[in-house]
Structure 1
Amino acid sequence: MTFLYVVFAAIFGAFLVTIVKRQSEPAKLERYQKQFRQLHKETLDVDASEIVADALIERLNQALAYNYMERVNAEYRLKHPTGSQEKVNQVWRELKRYLIMAGVFGKVEMFNSAIDELWHIMLSHKQDYDEFCQTFIGMSILHHPLLQPVFKPEERTLFDFYYVQLFTVDSISIQTWGKFFKHDKGQTFLRDFETMELEQLKAKYMRKPTSKHAEMTFEHFTSQFKGNRPLANMNGRKIYNQTDYAAPAYFTYASTDDIDKDFTDIFGKDHNAASTHSHHGGDHSSSHDSTSDSSSSCSSCSSCSS
């Protein structure tokens, strides 16, 4: 008799929890929507460098329609109810940065599970996502989940090489992706962009086809290596401290091993971060020689295991 009572009490308790959860969900949604409205403007600035064409950022913000973004945001917050909207806005910023890279370059892996989860929710609204991609760059940014996270140090180095040129590297960046250039300083990529002609670089590294604004961003990216690259003796540390722009510091870091200790907060091994495993295959090929193949892959996220 006691056993039956315990079973009945457990079933009744589970039933009550379900009822309370159902009753509270509309209130949560209302609160999340209100907070999103209040802080939506914070998501419009991705803190990009001058390399990223303003028109590309404007197109991204236009493509990510408010109502679509609000629905995705609410679903993400329901899965993570303890997170604040300010924290979720940080996830949005990094996802938007990733989408810019995926729109410009032919190979960009994903290395953060929280960012990838937000992307998965975007993808679950297929019509909205397709419209987003068409408005943003005129074609789909695909997503090819991997069954298990895959260790991809070369792809992570290429991600870092793009990221530090295009965006500020602040505490949010490092908390999200870990420190940059953990396995390699990217001299191979640096040498390519310093020595190859523009059309060769486009064939090897640029997403094709892509939008004119994305292509313009690729050309801006390339031009800094053609005579405009900061000299190795430039004070990259000072520039970074003042602006959070890490590209000059990277050029200094990549030029010699003698000053690695000056950049340990930005570059180098990071024993606390597990962000070298790719979680998904967004729009990109795994072969370095076919970086122009536009599909991305998930190299480090558990959310792609299903």
Structure 2
Amino acid sequence: MSWIMGLIGLIVLSFFLLLLIMLGKQNEPARRERFKKEFQNKYHETLILSQTNVVNEEFIHRLNNALKADFMETVNTEFRLQFPRYSQNQVNELWRELKRYFLMAAVFKKIEMFNVKVDELWHIMLKFEKEYNEFCEMFIGRRIHHIPHGQPMFKPGERTFFDFCYVQLFSVDSISLKIWGRFFKHGKGKELLQEFENEEMTKLKNKYMHDSPSSLGEKVFESFVSRFKEYKLDKSPIWQHSYKDTSDASYAYFAYVSMNDSDDSFRDLFGHDSSDSHGSHDVGHGGSDSSSCSSCSSCSSS
């Protein structure tokens, strides 16, 4: 008799699950329309990337013009259907950081991805192959390749390089820190800094610049390198003063490198966070989307 009662219970449970699925499908068109309207109302926010003077305005305009609003709306809607807890404001933060990532990927040979939700937004874009290829072609004349690693990998060196590039190209604010976590958790990048200060431009291009950059991408790389040629380690007081005047984290970085490791003047931006751990498989993609370290990645650009 007990097995009959169990079977009845299973049938009832299955019925209610089926009912919930059917109700969800009935509500999906209404949710799609709501998500589309919310995206349209806040679309202008996705055009603001708040770069430093390393990234020229023309490069920003090229990216924004290439990434069409209707394509973004489609991807945005699919993302929110998949992750309904995310508000449009939160998704717009992911859009900003994905656009910044695309700018870096257009300049450098390889950039690792360190946020799982930014990566998910990119994954959804890739499902629309025609639109994605048109975006890449219009932006830089070639496809920005997504290279999955299969299993997440701990990459502190690659994360330091990501940070090294990011803080020179873009402003660092609360959104940056929420998405990527604090910068330079696994080293200050002193070897990189010395290399970019002392090595010839041609050699640096061969090693770090993408093999087929657009003319705008090459200009960004040259501006990026020039910054390290200009700011030498004997100018620490100038950097600190510049940072206080502008809150530009790129100046803060130069000062941070020249400081003693025990100095926590820039702890809000840079340095080790003792709450990080390396044991989770919900890989460290920084900020609020992960409970593990921010130096693991599951994909990269090429």
Q: TM-score normalised to the size of structure 1?
A: 0.88
Query: Is the 8 Å Cα contact of residues 112 and 162 (structure 2) preserved in structure 1?
Result: yes
Question: Aligned partner of 1:55: which letter?
Answer: E
Report deviation, 1:98.
0.6
Task: State whether structure 2 residue 287 is matched by structure 1 residue 268.
Answer: no
- Alignment-derived partner of residue 296 in structure 2: 277
Question: Are 1:91 and 1:115, in contact at CA under 8 Å, matched by a contact in 2?
Answer: yes
> Structure 1 residues 9, 241: CA separation in 2 closer, same or farther (over 3 Å shift)?
farther
1:174-194 CA-partner distances (Å, limit 9, x unpaired): 111111111111011111111
Q: Per chain length, whose mean CA-contact separation is higher, i.e. which structure has more relative contact order (CA < 8 Å, sep 6+)?
A: 1
Q: Which residue identity lines up with residue 52 of structure 1 in the other structure? A: V
Matched, 1:254 2:262: no
Give the corresponding residue for 2:26: 23
2:167 maps to a residue whose letter is V
User: Is 2:238 the counterpart of 1:234?
Assistant: yes
Question: Which residue of 30, 42, 55 corresponds with 1:52?
Answer: 55
Match of 2:138 among 126, 135, 138: 135
RMSD (Å), alpha carbons: 1.6
Distance 1:193 1:72, change over 3 A: same
**Structure 1 residue ranges (4+ consecutive) displaced by more than 6 angstroms after TM superposition:** none
Structure 1: gaps of 5 or more residues: 284-306
Say if 1:112 and 1:279, in contact at 8 Å, map to a contact too.
no
Answer yes or no: is 1:166 the counterpart of 2:169.
Answer: yes
Percent of matched pairs sharing the same residue: 46
* Per-residue Cα deviation, 1:95-117 (whole angstroms, up to 9, x for no partner): 11111000011121111111101
Give the structure-2-normalised TM-score.
0.89
Deviation at 1:228, TM superposition (A): 5.1
The alpha carbon displacement at 1:18 in A equals 1.1
Q: Is the 8 A contact 1:63 1:132 kept in 2?
A: yes
Q: Where does 1:134-213 land on structure 2 (aligned, <5 Å)?
A: 134-213=137-216
Contact 2:112–2:299 under 8 Å retained in 1: yes
Note if contact 2:111-2:301 (Cα within 8 Å) is conserved in structure 1: yes
Kindly provide the amino acid, as one letter, of the partner of residue 70 in structure 1.
Answer: E
Structure 1 pair 25–242 and aligned structure 2 pair: CA distance change class (3 A): farther
Counterpart amino acid of residue 295 in structure 2: T
| Selected match of 1:62 from 62, 65, 69 | 65
**Do the aligned partners of 2:201 and 2:225 also contact (CA within 8 Å) in 1?**
yes
Aligned pair count reads 282
In structure 2, C-alpha distance between the alignment counterparts of 1:95 and 1:136, rounded to whole Å:
14
Aligned counterparts, 1:108-123, within 5 A? 108-123=111-126
- Counterpart of 2:159 in structure 1: which amino acid? R
Displacement of 1:244 in angstroms is 3.9
1:80 Cα deviation from its structure 2 partner: 1.1
Deviation at 1:240, TM superposition (A): 4.3
Amino acid at match of 1:121: I
Aligned-pair distance for 1:242? 5.6
State the distance in 2 between where 1:221 and 1:160 align: 13
Task: Give the superposition deviation at 1:210.
Answer: 1.2
